[in-house]
């Protein structure tokens, strides 16, 4: 939800029970899934954007409806970018990523939307826009890789930024895993920050929040390392059922791979928990938090909320211990000081991270082959 001029704008998702299940591959050959009638609407699944006048003087008005062939099931994020000419940006989720822009405050017709980025910004594995934010007259957007693949096989997010002329640059990310050719720009193999996807970290699956605070750009992540332990526990708990589904050999191969990943996490002293990275110029980033604020079960920096009196609060995602809410001290970002690690520890972390990534990537082909047998290959 966002606002522009006299209107509130709302981006919608349609039939989330069925579209989520279908997007994760839990459907039959006709791309349908059996759900109770009360959970399924008879309407199509095309995402829409509606607006409503803030003075309550008019009815709701639909201003954009995507086409069935675009396979866009919802708008994951919307933001108003205020510059010389205010504009709304809406980022979609579905089988393709699209980013739309509107500058018309009164008559929001479909032909007044401008396609800013397509072909998932140069990497076909980019799947969903997890967050957007504005900093130094640029719009930033973070993209996660294909789900559920990125949950079973953690892959780092990409971060791009768009200027007022709709030109985009890769800020965090490297050589694409599955290259594509966007019609709206060209992806470079080297990012503006020098970081590969996920800030060089496979486990940073999401760039979950993007926020400007006291002239700094702040990015929080979702750390998928915690999920590895949960996945292993799930496979061990329901052993007989999984052996029936994927076969005995595949089952034990998966168990062995996930055990090796957990051992590698210990071997390289990987600090589990979400990260926070900060930049003064929107290009060069430094880590501020690398261990979920002292709690490895804090796997996500889920919310960054800036109040009207310029205080910043951080809400964590933690399904094991429960959420936490922290008030951020401004001095953390005025000096780029790290609250959890010394400079020596950060240097050691970055060095170990490269070795950890390489060791984990050697296991991925075996995992991927089995996932294609156990999940709908189209969803991967």
What does the pLDDT look like over 254-268, one tens digit per residue? 999 999 999 999 999
pLDDT at 255: 96
pLDDT at 205: 95
What does the pLDDT look like over 185-213, one tens digit per residue? 777 778 999 999 999 999 999 999 999 99
DSSP code for 196? -
- Domain hosting 289: range is 171-380
Distances (CA, A) of 205 to 124, 291, 338, 339: 16, 15, 22, 23
Is 313 part of a structural domain of the chain?
A: yes
Is 338 part of a structural domain of the chain?
A: yes
Is 66 part of a structural domain of the chain?
A: no
341 has a pLDDT exceeding 50 = yes
What does the pLDDT look like over 14-70, one tens digit per residue? 665 466 555 555 454 455 554 545 445 556 778 888 888 888 788 888 888 888 887
Domain count, the chain: 1
DSSP code for 258? H
Quick check: helix, strand or coil at residue 151? helix
Is 190 part of a structural domain of the chain?
A: yes
Over range 92-107, report the average pLDDT. 67
Cα–Cα dist 327/348, whole Å: 28
Cα–Cα dist 333/216, whole Å: 7
Over range 120-128, report the average pLDDT. 71
Name 117's Cβ contacts closer than 8 Å, sequence gap at least 6.
Answer: 97, 98, 99, 160, 162, 168, 182, 184, 185
Is 122 part of a structural domain of the chain?
A: no
Is 157 part of a structural domain of the chain?
A: no
Is 327 part of a structural domain of the chain?
A: yes
Share of the chain above pLDDT 70, in %: 77
Is 187 part of a structural domain of the chain?
A: yes
* Residue 241, CB-side half-sphere exposure with 13 Å CA sphere: 5
Q: What burial class does residue 226 get, using C-beta atoms within 10 Å of its C-beta: 0-12 exposed, 13-18 middle, 19+ buried?
A: buried
């Amino acid at each position: 939800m966002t606002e522009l001029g006299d209107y509130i704008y709302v981006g919608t998702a349609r039939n989330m029970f069925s579209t989520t299940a279908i997007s994760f591959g839990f459907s039959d050959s006709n791309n349908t899934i059996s759900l109770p009638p009360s959970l399924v609407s008879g309407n199509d699944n095309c995402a829409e954007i509606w607006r409503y006048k803030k003075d309550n003087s008019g009815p709701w008005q639909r201003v954009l409806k995507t086409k069935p062939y675009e396979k866009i099931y919802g708008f994951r994020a919307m933001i108003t970018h205020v510059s010389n000419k205010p504009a709304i940006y809406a980022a979609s989720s579905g089988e393709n990523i699209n980013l739309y822009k509107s500058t018309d405050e009164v008559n929001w017709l479909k032909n007044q939307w401008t396609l800013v980025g397509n072909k998932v910004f140069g990497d076909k594995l980019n799947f969903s826009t997890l967050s957007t934010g504005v900093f130094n007259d640029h719009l930033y957007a973070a993209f996660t890789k294909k789900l559920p693949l990125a949950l079973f096989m953690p892959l780092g997010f990409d971060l791009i930024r768009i200027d007022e002329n709709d030109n985009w640059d890769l800020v965090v990310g490297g050589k694409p895993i599955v290259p594509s050719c966007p019609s709206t720009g060209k992806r470079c193999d080297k990012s503006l920050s020098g970081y590969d996807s996920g800030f060089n970290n496979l486990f940073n699956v999401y760039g979950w929040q993007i926020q400007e605070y006291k002239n700094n750009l702040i990015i929080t992540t979702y750390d998928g390392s915690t999920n590895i332990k949960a996945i292993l526990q799930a496979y061990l708990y329901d052993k007989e059922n999984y052996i029936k589904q994927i076969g005995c050999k595949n089952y034990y191969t998966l168990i062995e791979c996930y055990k090796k990943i957990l051992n590698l996490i210990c071997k390289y002293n990987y600090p589990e928990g979400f990260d926070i990275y900060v930049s003064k110029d929107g290009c060069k980033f430094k880590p501020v938090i690398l261990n979920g604020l002292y709690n490895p079960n804090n796997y996500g920096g889920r919310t960054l909320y800036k109040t009207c009196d310029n205080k910043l609060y951080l809400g964590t995602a933690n399904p094991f211990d429960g959420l936490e809410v922290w008030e951020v001290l401004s001095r953390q970002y005025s000096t780029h000081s790290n609250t959890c690690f010394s400079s020596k520890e950060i240097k050691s972390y970055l060095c170990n991270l490269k070795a950890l990534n390489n060791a984990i990537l050697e296991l991925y082909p075996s995992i991927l082959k089995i996932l294609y047998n156990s999940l709908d290959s189209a969803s991967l």
